[in-house]
Amino acid sequence: MSAIRLPYLLFVGDERNDSNAKTAFGVRQWRPEACVAQWNLPGGTVDIGLPRMTPAEAVAQGARSLLIGIAPVGGGIAPHWVAPICEAIEAGLDVVSGMHMRLGSVEAIRDTAARCGRTLHDVRHSEVRFPVGTGVRRSGKRLLTVGTDCALGKKYTALALTRAFQAAGHAATFRATGQTGILISGAGVAIDAVVADFIAGAAEWLSPANAPDHWDIIEGQGSLLHPSYAGVSLGLLHGSQPDAMVLCHDPSRLHIEDHPGFPIPPLEEVMDLHLRHARRVNPASRFVGIALNTSRLSPDAAAALLEDTGRRHGLPAIDPLRSDLAPVVRLATA
């Protein structure tokens, strides 16, 4: 990641759905000093909360790289993004992408970058040859955020918990497992881009043996309940051997997003399913908190829901962006 030139112009294209722009929102939230401006194409309505600039304007303000801030399902580069990406390269920007499809696989992008002497970064693709997972226990402590669905707070919870562990005096490292987490933290593995046979092995590689009291706070991916991505989630769970898990949930979501036939079961069932798998690799694995995304609720309603959820499940219930996370840290390290 050291080769990426900062700061970024965040490309959000003609996207109208905030949840497809989670890369842009995440980098803006957790690495604001690395973000100069956002670039919307005509028709695009996503608002990251940054000034809107063209590539030429952003370069004049110091931007050095165009970050592809949108992540459509399937991870492809839309044909109508090619000309704008080339325009950014011509203006002097490198390009950074977390998509499955490599930037250099598009001839116009590859040729423009070569002609202008600019660099293309595909952070979703690792050059590491991951081993097959072993299941062998390793030293150090690990916390994994897991979820009832995609895109509801697993990364934010892990980032916020990493700060809370550190604030409480514990050695803790955020371990990114997705492109946005990698762009925020500067390291990690896009676990969903690994060849299927090596998911658990890549997860073991990502959080190697460490000091006995060091905590890796590992960003979860997907959901065991998700009909598209559960395999990724289970491999990551096995390879992470979590001592502690935090269940992330959006109380407004009654079924898997875009999959109305897949209801979210009661949280106790979801936790039980995770524990059955986690205890294969770590018999002491347990839940230490429930993280609710309460962004759609008033402060009072959020507080009431968190208190009720915590009491019902006998666990600290928190919103990573609103709550004091110390109770989770205390329970994990007790």
Q: Residues in the site for a copy of itself, rule: CB under 8 A?
A: 73-75, 100, 131-137, 191-197, 199-201, 224-225, 227-236, 238, 256, 259, 261-262, 273, 276-277, 280-281
Residue type, 285: S
- State in angstroms the smallest separation of the CB of 257 from a copy of itself: 12
Cα angle: 247, vertex 250, 253; to 5 degrees: 125
Toward a copy of itself, which CB reaches closer, 125 or 322? 125
Toward a copy of itself, which CB reaches closer, 133 or 289? 133
Per the CB < 8 A criterion, the answer to whether 55 and 91 are in contact is: yes
- State in angstroms the smallest separation of the CB of 4 from a copy of itself: 23
Dist. CA 75–CA 83, nearest whole Å:
18
- State in angstroms the smallest separation of the CB of 231 from a copy of itself: 3
Dist. CA 43–CA 327, nearest whole Å:
44
- State in angstroms the smallest separation of the CB of 143 from a copy of itself: 19
- State in angstroms the smallest separation of the CB of 223 from a copy of itself: 10
Shortest CA distance to 150 belongs to which of 235, 227, 244, 242? Answer: 227
Dist. CA 63–CA 54, nearest whole Å:
11
- State in angstroms the smallest separation of the CB of 16 from a copy of itself: 21
Contacts of 279 (CB under 8 A, 6+ apart): 285
Toward a copy of itself, which CB reaches closer, 49 or 76? 76
Count of CB atoms within 10 A of residue 272's CB?
12
Dist. CA 260–CA 255, nearest whole Å:
6
Toward a copy of itself, which CB reaches closer, 51 or 131? 131
Dist. CA 50–CA 37, nearest whole Å:
5
- State in angstroms the smallest separation of the CB of 201 from a copy of itself: 7
Toward a copy of itself, which CB reaches closer, 259 or 311? 259
Distance from the Cα of residue 208 to its chain's centroid:
19
Tokens of 171: 């050695």
Is the backbone of residue 286 left (phi > 0), alpha (psi -120 to 50) or beta?
beta
Place of tokens 């803790």: 172
Toward a copy of itself, which CB reaches closer, 229 or 310? 229
Toward a copy of itself, which CB reaches closer, 32 or 227? 227
Toward a copy of itself, which CB reaches closer, 91 or 200? 200
- State in angstroms the smallest separation of the CB of 187 from a copy of itself: 19
73 DSSP 8-state letter:
T
Shortest CA distance to 216 belongs to which of 140, 280, 150, 296? Answer: 140
- State in angstroms the smallest separation of the CB of 200 from a copy of itself: 5
Toward a copy of itself, which CB reaches closer, 100 or 163? 100
Cα angle: 262, vertex 281, 143; to 5 degrees: 75
Per the CB < 8 A criterion, the answer to whether 23 and 70 are in contact is: yes
